[in-house]
Amino acid sequence: MKKEQIAVIVAVVIVIGYLYSLPVKGLVQPKVQQGTGKVASTTERPNANINVDMVSTSAKNVIGAGLSAKIIDLEGQLKNASNDADKLSLQKQLAKAWDDVSQPAPAAFYYQDVARKENTAENWINAGSRFNDAYKLTQDTAAQPTFDANAVEAFQNATKLKPESLDAKAGLGIAYVNGGGPPMQGIGLLLDVVKQDPTNRNAQLNLGLFAMKSGQFEKAVDRFKTLIAQKPEVEPYFYLAESYKQLGMRKEAIDAYQKCKEMMPDQNFDQRIDQYIKELKN
């Protein structure tokens, strides 16, 4: 499997991931335990078994033996490294190698190792961003709390080192809304970011996505249209189409779905989009 093919597959997973995700906790009405009148607890604890070895094994199955060969070689060198300088260098190489094949989960753990040794805001932002991406991409609900907790730790460290960083603030807001902190505080952080920088893609995209998950589709439309006006991309177009569909705006939804097909020519993705369009036309 080539790197370009992996990038397409990852993009497909991202844009359809919304369909399989649960509403954001704290942004929608909580469930009440039957017969008690009490709000059901939604707190999830990180799973100590989720580590770099576990996620690396899963990621290698995705990318195939050919692209795994270099990574396996680097892992062997890291295991046999005798001094801290060599270990740090190999951890940096492994983080980049996983980035190159669009696998954020193992990359995140290696960036975390680097940040713990070189305590800079940039390193912590790199780690937190990959953990947020890993949370977004995975359908493994057992892994999500670990990714989210690590993202919160990373961005909190980044904001301490560089309080003015909007990337750190946006990342922390996303991690909070995902379940790592007070959801509305997370939304507040994201709103503050777009107030200071309306072009911040990460904050705008996630505000739109969280609006969708809480049923505020009009607000979501505004967010995605703002992003598309800045730079047309398949992900905001897909979410725009989904938002229009939920609002009953069929023509607008079909037009946005068509844009997705134009921007990402992939047979499997096109077939899925064609099915969505067919459903809207019936």
What band does 21 get if pLDDT is binned at 50, 70 and 90? low
* The pLDDT of residue 24 is above 90: no
What band does 14 get if pLDDT is binned at 50, 70 and 90? low
Tokens of 39: 């709000």
**pLDDT computed for residue 267 by the predictor:** 82
Mean pLDDT throughout 161-165?
98
What does DSSP assign to residue 207? H
Mean pLDDT throughout 70-81?
97
What band does 15 get if pLDDT is binned at 50, 70 and 90? low
What band does 45 get if pLDDT is binned at 50, 70 and 90? confident
What band does 42 get if pLDDT is binned at 50, 70 and 90? very low
Give me the residue spans of the domains in the chain: 1-21+50-175, 198-282
Q: How far is CA 115 from the centre of its chain?
A: 20
Please indicate whether the domains covering 1-21+50-175 and 198-282 agree at the CATH topology level.
Answer: yes
**At the topology level of CATH, where does 1-21+50-175 sit?**
1.25.40
Architecture of domain 198-282: Alpha Horseshoe (1.25)
Q: Check if the beta carbon of residue 207 is closer than 8 Å to that of residue 194.
A: yes
* The pLDDT of residue 116 is above 50: yes
Other beta carbons within 10 angstroms of residue 88's beta carbon come to 16
Kindly report the average pLDDT of the chain as a whole number. 88
* The pLDDT of residue 104 is above 70: yes
The long-range contacts involving 248-252, CB below 8 angstroms and separated by at least 24 positions, are: 250/280, 250/281
* The pLDDT of residue 180 is above 50: yes
* The pLDDT of residue 171 is above 80: yes
